[in-house]
A and B are shown apart, each in its own frame.
Chain A
Amino acid sequence: MPRSLSLTGRILTRLWLPVVLAAAWWVSSAGSTSLYFPPLSKILAAVWTQWAAGPARAQLASSLEHLVTGYALACLLGVGFGALLWSLRHVRDATSPYVYFLYVLPAPVLVPAAMTLFGLGFSMKVVLIAFAAMWPVLLNTLDGMRGVDPVALDTARALGVPPARRVLSVVLRAASPQIAAGLRNSLQVAIILMVVSEWVASTDGIGYYIVNSQESFDYTGMWSGIIVLAIIGTVANLAFVAAENRILHWHYGARAVEGAR
């Protein structure tokens, strides 16, 4: 096993590449007069004037609203249906081909259908995000629950844990590392669907802003939207990892001990 680095060392190993790339972009684009590739300095200025302090803040807010609502729904539905399928073996056997069928369907193709069913507003975007992001959670929940150790279940029965509580505090808990993997996967899907749903026939959101800027030849605005998206993705992912490390610290602790033995 490699010797563990100090905290500063770890931060440096993680950060050197993005810093180098950003610097390269900054330097190479500095004197650019190209309409399509404006200087990074101008893009970052736009991120500040448009997104942080300016009019695009409303687009950011409405995007985040779509994302948070849709993702929360996806998590609830995914874990809920996953647990339900786990407990009803016959339903599971009957539905599993369709579940995979829906899972492999690229969700963006559902945009037209969602528009037809739910119009162009808030609910269309939330439904689309929730529907697409539900599958990784659902399948990981189901898989994690099926992999629960029979000894853990026998123990629960021997201790007198009633059936409903066995599912909640033993099976779901034992499956939680895998459920977390599903939730993380779903977060990426949710962000993609947030943008895609705003591209089409929409009047708000980051996706709309990016397309609208591009169509009106405001390439600085377009690039600033892309950078804002990258920031949202990074922050969401960091928050997710932080929460995961806190909640699943027992899992990583136990695994580290196992690896050392």
Chain B
Amino acid sequence: MTPVVELSKVRKVYPGPGASGGHVALEDVTFEVARGEFVCVVGPSGAGKSTLLRCLTGLAAPTSGEARFGGEALRSVPAAVGVVFQDYGRSLYPWLTVSRNIELPLKVRGVPRAERSGRTADVLASVGLADAGRKYPWQLSGGMQQRVAIARALVYRPDLLVMDEPFASVDAQTRFGLEDLVLRVRAEFGVTVVFVTHDIDEAVYLADRVVVLSRPPGTVSEVVDISLPGPRDQIATKRMEEFARHREHLLGLVMTR
């Protein structure tokens, strides 16, 4: 079976002064994500996590190497990819209501009006915001805004959902709720997830596999299988001995290299 998305020998250089012809963000990154998998990408700051995400979604082209989605080289963001950005405040359009933000990707895909509003209501209910459709994003709390962004990325039923440190700017309690929400919608929509984070606990809690990036320039230093049973639970899972073991191992990787 072909993987949903794969990177092979991806190198990304941002032009500028320097011996290597600029800033090398990624150096020889290779990994793949199978259908239905939940993969987290962790690494020290500056390891090129965001660059990796841009190459993975087709927002940026690698300098060399190749990014493939469904076996085909990425040239732009495929219609079957959903992206959730870290900064929901800049990613949600303030001039559109919550419903219209979510309807936008359906509109550009030519989905008829009646179906659009039905699907928007459904996905809003899935993220627990059934009553927020008529509000504007800026009238909601940060956690609610990020749920709107997740709903907007899910409404066109993508095969792959890519999230870039989506919960980095919400408080801890909200974050736990959102993590469980992501696990729930992943099961509900049967979507493959790549989740970039700098939080090791979050990665272990969510992932089937964790890709660890090295210090810059980023390469894959290790891929760790997370053998925790599902469904995960914020208290029970995090109390497990295995959780602690994975956590320690990953922290060691991120801190020392």
A-to-B contact residues, CB < 8 Å: 149, 151-152, 154-155, 157-162, 165, 170, 173-174, 176, 250-251, 253-254, 257-258
Q: Which of B38-46, B82-90, B196-204, B207-215 contacts A (4 or more CB under 8 A)?
A: B82-90
User: A174 contacts which chain B residues (CB < 8 A)?
Assistant: 93, 95
Distance from A147 Cβ to chain B, minimum over Cβ atoms (Å): 13
Secondary structure dominating the interface of A: helix
**Range of interface residues on B (Cβ < 8 Å):** 20 to 34
Indicate if the CB atoms of A253 and B139 lie closer than 8 Å.
yes
Q: Which of B24-32, B104-112, B249-257 contacts A (4 or more CB under 8 A)?
A: B104-112
B-to-A contact residues, CB < 8 Å: 57, 59, 76-77, 79, 81-83, 85, 87, 90-91, 93-95, 104-105, 108-109, 136, 138-139, 152-153, 156
Residue of B nearest to A157 (CB): B77
Indicate if the CB atoms of A173 and B139 lie closer than 8 Å.
no
Q: Which of B59, B108, B156 contacts A154 (CB 8 A)?
A: B59
Indicate if the CB atoms of A158 and B57 lie closer than 8 Å.
yes
Given contacts A157-B76, A170-B93, contact A257 B138 (CB under 8 A): yes
Distance from A187 Cβ to chain B, minimum over Cβ atoms (Å): 23
Given contacts A149-B90, A157-B76, A257-B139, contact A162 B95 (CB under 8 A): no
Indicate if the CB atoms of A250 and B136 lie closer than 8 Å.
yes
26 contacts between A and B (CB under 8 A): A149-B90, A151-B87, A151-B90, A154-B59, A154-B83, A155-B91, A155-B93, A157-B77, A158-B57, A158-B59, A158-B153, A159-B152, A160-B77, A160-B79, A160-B108, A160-B109, A161-B104, A165-B108, A170-B93, A176-B95, A250-B95, A251-B94, A253-B138, A253-B139, A257-B139, A258-B138
Indicate if the CB atoms of B136 and A158 lie closer than 8 Å.
no
User: A165 contacts which chain B residues (CB < 8 A)?
Assistant: 108
**A159, A251, A253, A258 — which one has the most chain B CB atoms within 10 A of its CB?**
A159
User: B138 contacts which chain A residues (CB < 8 A)?
Assistant: 250, 253-254, 257-258
